[in-house]
Structure 1
Amino acid sequence: MAPTLTSARWTARHVLITGGSSGIGLALATGLQERGARVSVVARDADRLNALTDRPAPPGLAPFTARSADVADQDGLQHAITELTSTVGPVSDLITSAGTVRPGRFHELDDLHFREAIEVNYFGTLYAARAVLPAMLERRDGTITCISSAAGLYGLAGYASYAPSKFAVRGLCESLRMELRPHGIHVAAVYPGDVDTPQLAMEQPFKPPELAALAGTLRPARAATVADAVIRGIEARRPVIVPGTANRTVAILARLAPRLANAYADRIVAAALRHRPGVSPRP
């Protein structure tokens, strides 16, 4: 018997998820499979992909399909997507969840970290969208959902390499939404805060105290909770999806009252730096 989550909205649609082997992407893959979609995944980690495709599909549902590729490699990503469409069919819905983050102070980070953030987070999103869009335009049907970040709405100290790449994703999605809507294609951007994922665990040792203090004001969300909010947002055809009540409050504050948001953040940063040797933050 198929899970009760199965819905006609997703049945037999080919949903392609980049970065779908862990974190939010994996939670999305699982949730969409349960709803009846045919889910394919592109990610770099071949071992995680093998573990994913080795999972037995629930009764009556399609198994996962996967290919290994680096989203920053346009030719490699295009080849992987071509193979997946040959196997599963044209992509009905694209979700770009692949991403990278390396916290650190601007003057202490290597140039490589800035370049990698743009190549993976922005160009990885752009390349995937360009690969699936022609078929969507031909059918006049499809959705493109890009996982940005709360840092794509409000830049934080310690995220000087990460936030600009997520702002770029935001700009791309806003432009595409307006351009593609007349052609029957829905585009959404997702702005999650911290989510309890392997990526969050990997970045913790690199967070400067001021970023850790800012991030500590909100509890990390569960990946499954964020995935459910994203899926419901796509179903409702929302152009902006901000999971979590507290995260939405921060996003609204940053957009509507930036001076108040900045003053609040500045106080947290000053407090975090107060006990750092050689640093005397301005009052």
Structure 2
Amino acid sequence: MLLLAAAFIVAFVLLLYMVSPLISPKPLKLPGAHVVVTGGSSGIGKCIAIECYKQGAFITLIARDENKLLQTKKEIEKYSVNDKQVVLCISVDVSKDYEQVENVLKQAQEKLGPVDMLVNCAGTSVTGKFEDIEVNCFERLMAVNYLGSVYPSRAVIATMKERRMGRIVFVSSQAGQLGLFGYTAYSPTKFALRGLAEALQMEVKPYDIYVTVAYPPDTDTPGFAEESKTKPLETKLISETSSVCQAEQVARVIVKDAIQGNFNSSVGSDGYMLSILTSGMSPVTSITEGLQQVVCMGIFRIIGLFYLGSFDSIVRRCMMQREKSESADKTE
């Protein structure tokens, strides 16, 4: 058995070595590149725009609130590295009208050149028990979180194919890797981005276009603060099992992975473990990444089972406490 296992590993390494030239993209050079960031007026999107601007990129910010966009533009411009850099602001809802999204991106490309990297960061969240969430919330979240990424990507992909270069980033969430209590409306929209990214990557890889899916953990942003106001107790207790990251840290990781053309982008040890556990048939961009997935999958699954047991215990305790409280209220 040991010889068989060793032979399998050797064969696997040789296979990866043979295909590695096909899966190792050339890094994207950001100086002078045109980077479009949707949802770029605040949170992770704004920090990604700042990070790219610091590295010499031209930025197009897309969001709904024009006032926030103009404030963010001023903030980003403080980090310019040369006098030629430009920050363009476009106020549009990327989830409603595809033709409008296509038109504004054409205008952006006429002003700043073809899009070298698109970062789909527009998104929103609603938490609550499945039966308590209004049906229209499911529809709205699917429109914003999923179609809000489909439309901009669809608008730039043809030009990227013509130029045979480009990067497309989908900002998902750790809730797009693991379904959790309270996220029945949110998680499916973020899971959907993974499916879109895998299918799209297979289509565009021959054109030297690379797709990155980012899975940020809980991050200190205005959106996270707003979401926390309505989180069920179970969701809060589960979230407290991991720390809250800073948006600047998350943005640096996402930009680095996008430049390198990595398919998965994760933050911290929990994020690394989840990326291994959920790697499935996702693309790899290095021999090391493939070997890590093979070697670590088993042990991480064991650790993951302990996490799941802990989460189930939290949900069960909350249910028992709630029932006990309701029973006490009835007897009074």
Provide TM-score, normalisation by structure 1: 0.91
- Aligned partner letter, 2:82: G
- Comparing 44-53 and 58-67, the one that deviates more: 58-67
- Is 1:85 the counterpart of 2:109 in the alignment? yes
Alignment of 1:40-189 (within 5 A): 40-55=60-75, 56-57=77-78, 58-61=80-83, 62-73=85-96, 74-189=98-213
2:239 is aligned to 215
Q: Describe the shift of the 1:117–1:96 C-alpha distance in structure 2 as closer, same or farther (beyond 3 A).
A: same
User: Structure 1 residues 234, 124: CA separation in 2 closer, same or farther (over 3 Å shift)?
Assistant: same
Unaligned runs of 5+ in 1: 1-6
Give the drift of 1:86.
1.6
Distance 1:106 1:8, change over 3 A: closer
CA distance 1:143–1:41, shift in 2 (3 Å): same
- Equivalents in 2 of 1:252, 1:145: separation in Å? 19
Q: Which moved more, 1:249-258 or 1:188-197?
A: 249-258
1:15 paired residue among 35, 40, 51: 35
Asked if the contact 2:64–2:92 (Cα under 8 Å) also holds between the matched residues in 1, the reply is yes
Identical pairs, percent = 32
Q: Matched residue of 1:40: which SS? A: strand
Aligned partners of 2:35 and 2:117 also within 8 Å: yes
Larger radius of gyration: 2
Residue ranges of structure 2 left out of the alignment (5+ in a row): 1-26, 280-296, 327-332
Of 266-275 and 88-97, the range deviating more from structure 2: 266-275
Distance 1:232 1:271 in 2: 41
What is the one-letter code of the residue matched to 1:217? Answer: T
What amino acid does structure 2 have at the position aligned with 1:40?
T
**1:237 equivalent among 241, 261, 264:** 261
Aligned residues: 274
Alignment check: 8 A CA contact 1:100 1:121 kept: yes
Secondary structure at the aligned position of 1:100 is classed as coil
Instruction: Render the CA deviation track for 1:151-205: whole Å, top value 9, x for unaligned.
Output: 1111001000000000001100011112211111001100111000000001011
Query: In the aligned structure 2, how far is the partner of 1:148 from the partner of 1:279?
Result: 37
Task: State the secondary structure of the residue aligned to 2:201.
Answer: helix
Amino acid at match of 2:244: P
Amino acid at match of 1:12: G
Distance 1:265 1:247 in 2: 17
CA drift of 1:103 comes to: 0.5
Deviations 1:48-85 (A, max 9, x none): 11112334443515131110011112233222212211
- Equivalents in 2 of 1:272, 1:252: separation in Å? 30
Residue among 258, 265, 270 paired with 1:246: 270
TM-score between both structures, scaled by the size of structure 2? 0.78
CA distance in 1, matches of 2:157, 2:180: 33
Distance 1:8 1:234 in 2: 8
With over 3 angstroms needed to count, the CA separation of the structure-2 counterparts of 1:66 and 1:119, relative to structure 1, is same
1:109-167 per-residue CA deviation (whole Å, 9 max, x = no partner) reads 00111001110111111111100001000000001010011011110010000000000
Q: Distance in 2 between matches of 1:77 and 1:278?
A: 52
**1:4 equivalent in structure 2:** none
2: distance between equivalents of 1:279 and 1:242?
40
In 1: Cα distance, 2:30 partner to 2:244 partner = 28
* Secondary structure of residue in 1 paired with 2:211: strand
Aligned to 1:273: 319
Write the deviation string for residues 6-40 of structure 1: whole angstroms up to 9, x where unpaired.
x9820111000100110000000001000000011
SS of corresponding position for 1:12: coil
Note the C-alpha offset of 1:279: 8.1
One-letter identity of the residue aligned with 1:184: D
Query: Residue 18 of structure 1 contacts residue 41 of structure 1 at CA under 8 Å; is this kept in 2?
Result: yes
Q: Secondary structure at the match of 2:131?
A: coil
Q: CA contact under 8 A between 1:273 and 1:279: conserved in structure 2?
A: no
